[in-house]
Structures are given as structure tokens and as C-alpha cells.
Structure 1
Amino acid sequence: MRKLTFAMNVSLDGYIAARGDDLGWSGGDGPDSSPGDELFRWWSDRVAATGLALYGRKLWANMSSHWPTADQRPGATPAEKEFSRRWRDMPKVVFSSTTSTVDWNTRLVTGDAVTEITRLKAEDGGPMDIGGATLAAAAMRAGLIDEYVLVTVPVLVGGGTPFFTALDSWVNLNLVETRTFPGGVLLTRYQTRR
């Protein structure tokens, strides 16, 4: 059975995107910043280790508008080139009823997300990451997430898209890792107690 992890950058007040889907804060050094080198390498290594990435429509649109060709842009750093290649190569599933085409080692699912995620978890294969607030919320409510990774950026954005959704019952977690990155960014990793 595959492990499903929800991992995202999150503001200290609990948001994965500020109002208006603004992600400019997520680098850790204030508005319009990019992630530090060490944090960027951590995310890149995570992509390389992911057996299958599950995306909601908005996150897919954001990632696919930049990363497929980022390695061909003038001034792209070696780390950006590596991330771009890793992202293109990583198997991906996009869950959307409005998207009509996907590319870059990706398939589209237009049916029930919880049913498909449950099926994918039962398969053999490497670990799965899930991203996108709506998609992750559905998986949370269904009890499908095995691990939560919060990369907390020391900024208060005051509202937007929350990392966690409202749940009908408690979910008990075990802290399994903490790590500090430059700029005061704190990684915390929790496993779901089953």
C-alpha cells in the first residue's frame, strides 16, 4: 500500500495561499521572495523521491505554467534546471472536471477523486504526494492522508486558502521530524496515528 503525504509551504497563520491566490510570501524572506537554496533543494529532492504526485486543478495550472520549460529559460540556475527535469519526469495525476488536456507524464481524472485516490493507494509503487487545497481537503475528510508536512514560513498573511479543512472528527498525529531552514522556515512532519 502506498503512503500519501500532503506537503506544502504554509504561513504561520495556517494558509497555503494568501487572498487572491498570492504565493509571493512563500519563499520565507517576505513578499515576492523565492525559496532559499537549501529549501529549494529539499523540495527538489522530494520531487525526485515521489512515486506519483496528485494535483488539484489550481496547483496544476500554477506548476504546469512554469516548470515544464523552466530549464530552457535564460538565467535558469542549475538547481532550477534539475527541478524542472525532475518535475517533468515525475508521474502525475490531475483531478479536474474543467481541465481538458494535460501533458508532461500526467494523466487526467475527471471522476470521483476519493475513489481514485483510494484505488491508487492500494497499488504497489512509490510514495504519493497530494497538493491543492480542495483535493487535499477531500482526502483529509476521507482519512486517506498518512503524513502531513508543513513547511512553515514566518509570515502572517491574514487570510486565504487554509492548509487544513474542517473535519468531522479528530485526527491524532505523531511528530516524526522537525528541521529548520534559513530565514526561520520550520519543517514539521507528522504521521497519522492509525
Structure 2
Amino acid sequence: MRKLIFAMNVTLDGYIAAPGDDLGWSVPSDEFFQWWSDRVDATSLALYGRKLWEAMSSHWPTADQQPGATPAQVEFARRWRDMPKVVFSSTISTVDWNARLVTGDAVTEITRLKAEDGGPMDVSSGTLAAAAMRAGLIDEYAIVTHPVLVGGGTPFFTALDNWVKLNLVETRTFPGGVVLTRYETRR
């Protein structure tokens, strides 16, 4: 059975995007960017919602060919292109870059994917993660907190019907006051 991890950057006040889907607050240090790149390399399948898919697929497929691309950006772009991806959307009709599109029920498909053999899966979308959270499918939360308050936007957590008890498994501080906390769901 695969492990499902919800890993996202989040503001101190709990948002993964500021109003207007603004992500300008989450500029990574080199060390932190390398951590994300290593996560992508270790992920056997990434699950995306439409918004984040459109943001990532508009930049990373060719980021390594941009003037001034750093070695870390070149490495991340290659890893991102190579990583298998599933995109959940009912409003787009095609995806590329080693991805497949699912237009049906996300919870049903994520449940099916979790039951397969394989390495860890990352869910990278607020709406998609909220559905997986409510269904009790998330095994780990990797919360990367940035020292900024944005006052609104897309929340990291969704309203839940039941408590979810967690065990702290890692903390790490990155330059700029960015803090990683990883929790596993108690089953």
C-alpha cells in the first residue's frame, strides 16, 4: 500500500496561497529549494489539482532552458518532468509532461492508487488535499511554514468532521525562518 503525503508551503496564518492565488511570499532559499527537489526525486507519483498543475506545467517543463537557470533549477526541472503525475480536473481536456488526466471522482481514484504497490505519493493541491483529508486518506503532512502573514486566501486545512491525531516525526529550520514540521497520521 502506498503512502499519501500532503506537502505544501504555508503562511504562518495557515494559507497555501494569498488572495488572487498569489504565491510571491514563498521564495525559497537554495537549501530549501534543494529539499523540495529531493522530495520530487523521492516521489513515485504526484497528484495535482488543476490550478497547481497549470502553474507548475507552465514553468517547469522548460525552466532548465531559460537563461540564467541555476544548476538546482535544471535538476528540479528534470526531476519534475520525469516524475509520474496524475492531474484531477473536470475543466481541462489534456495534460502532458508524464501526466495523465482523471476527470472522475478524486477520492475513488486516490483510494485505488493508495491500494497499489509503489512508493510514496504527494498530493499538491488545496482542493484535492481537502477531499483526501476529509476521506481520511492522508498518511503524512509535511507543513513548510513561512514567516509571513497574508490575512486570507486558500487555507492549508479544510473543515473536518472528525479529529485527526498526528505524531510529530521531524522538524527542520531553513534559512529565512522557514520551518518544516512533518506529522504522520495515527491509525
**Is the pair's TM-score, using the shorter chain for normalization, greater than 0.5?**
yes
Which runs of 5 or more structure 1 residues have no equivalent in the other structure? Answer: 28-34
Residue 114 (structure 1) aligned with residue 76 (structure 2): no
Query: What does residue 32 of structure 1 align with?
Result: none
Task: Give me the whole-angstrom Cα distance separating, in 2, the residues matched to 1:97 and 1:11.
Answer: 29
Task: Give me the whole-angstrom Cα distance separating, in 2, the residues matched to 1:100 and 1:75.
Answer: 33
Task: Give me the whole-angstrom Cα distance separating, in 2, the residues matched to 1:99 and 1:45.
Answer: 29
Task: Give me the whole-angstrom Cα distance separating, in 2, the residues matched to 1:54 and 1:98.
Answer: 16
Task: Give me the whole-angstrom Cα distance separating, in 2, the residues matched to 1:179 and 1:170.
Answer: 25
Identity, % of aligned pairs?
85
Quote the offset at 1:24 in angstroms. 0.1
Q: Secondary structure at the match of 1:26?
A: coil
Q: Secondary structure at the match of 1:83?
A: helix
Residue 169 (structure 1) aligned with residue 162 (structure 2): yes
Query: What does residue 149 of structure 1 align with?
Result: 142
Name the count of aligned residue pairs: 187
TM-score (norm 1): 0.96
Task: Give me the whole-angstrom Cα distance separating, in 1, the residues matched to 2:139 and 2:70.
Answer: 34
Query: What does residue 17 of structure 2 align with?
Result: 17
Query: What does residue 102 of structure 1 align with?
Result: 95
Residue 186 (structure 1) aligned with residue 179 (structure 2): yes
Residue 59 (structure 1) aligned with residue 52 (structure 2): yes
Quote the offset at 1:97 in angstroms. 0.3
CA deviations 1:44-92 (Å, max 9, x no partner) are 0000000000000000000000000000111100000000000000000
Q: Which of 118, 121, 134 is residue 128 of structure 1 equivalent to? A: 121
Quote the offset at 1:113 in angstroms. 0.2
Task: Give me the whole-angstrom Cα distance separating, in 2, the residues matched to 1:127 and 1:37.
Answer: 24
Residue identity matched to 2:24:
G
Query: What does residue 83 of structure 1 align with?
Result: 76
Quote the offset at 1:98 in angstroms. 0.6
Quote the offset at 1:146 in angstroms. 0.1
Task: Give me the whole-angstrom Cα distance separating, in 1, the residues matched to 2:119 and 2:62.
Answer: 25
Task: Give me the whole-angstrom Cα distance separating, in 1, the residues matched to 2:42 and 2:162.
Answer: 31
CA deviations 1:108-139 (Å, max 9, x no partner) are 00000000000000000110000111100000
Residue identity matched to 1:97:
S
Task: Give me the whole-angstrom Cα distance separating, in 2, the residues matched to 1:26 and 1:81.
Answer: 19
CA deviations 1:144-187 (Å, max 9, x no partner) are 00000100000000000000000001000000000000000000
Task: Give me the whole-angstrom Cα distance separating, in 2, the residues matched to 1:135 and 1:9.
Answer: 15
Task: Give me the whole-angstrom Cα distance separating, in 2, the residues matched to 1:127 and 1:108.
Answer: 19
TM-score (norm 2): 0.99
Q: Which of 40, 45, 49 is residue 42 of structure 2 equivalent to? A: 49
4+ residue runs over 4 A deviation:
none
Q: Secondary structure at the match of 2:163?
A: coil
